[in-house]
Amino acid sequence: MNNLTPLDMRLLNEFQHHFPLVSQPYQEMAERLGISEEELLSRLQSLQNRGIISRVGAVLRTGQVGVSTLAAMQIPAADLERIASLVNSFPEVNHNYERDHAINLWFVLTAESPQRLQSVIDRIETESGFSVYVMPMIKPFHIDLGFPLH
């Protein structure tokens, strides 16, 4: 984070929670920052390429649009990278991460219907050769993932 410019910090701080809901959001953001839309898009791409941000997009309350579930797999260490790449190849996978546990590959799936969600789970199992443990949400919790950068 030490290599962020003051403008990068301002961009990240001002738009974590207040992304403009207008027809040209990036133009609006650029105007508010006093830069061109082209420069804004270039900065966002640079932040993503450097691993500082993973994406720009909405975080929707679970169950409001489509269906989702937490899922996990028990993958031998030698196969973990290959299976993680397979899991990531499905557009329904929001993100995945490794945990230091026997059940070591965790991910969130989101689809337009329960049938599509199950279809993706089935394909991951078939293509990977490993079982997917499905853990649907029982009680929702809201965790604000935004935080001020200093």
Domain ranges of the chain: 6-49, 67-135
CB 69 within 8 A of CB 88: no
The reported pTM is 0.62
Q: What Å distances lie between residue 31 and 34, 91, 97, CA to CA?
A: 5, 32, 36
28-58, pLDDT tens digit by residue? 999 999 999 999 999 999 998 988 887 787 6
What's domain 67-135's architecture?
A: 2-Layer Sandwich (3.30)
| Among 135, 139, 137, 111, CA closest to 123 | 111
pLDDT category at 82 given cuts 50, 70, 90 is: very high
CA distance 5 to 11: 10
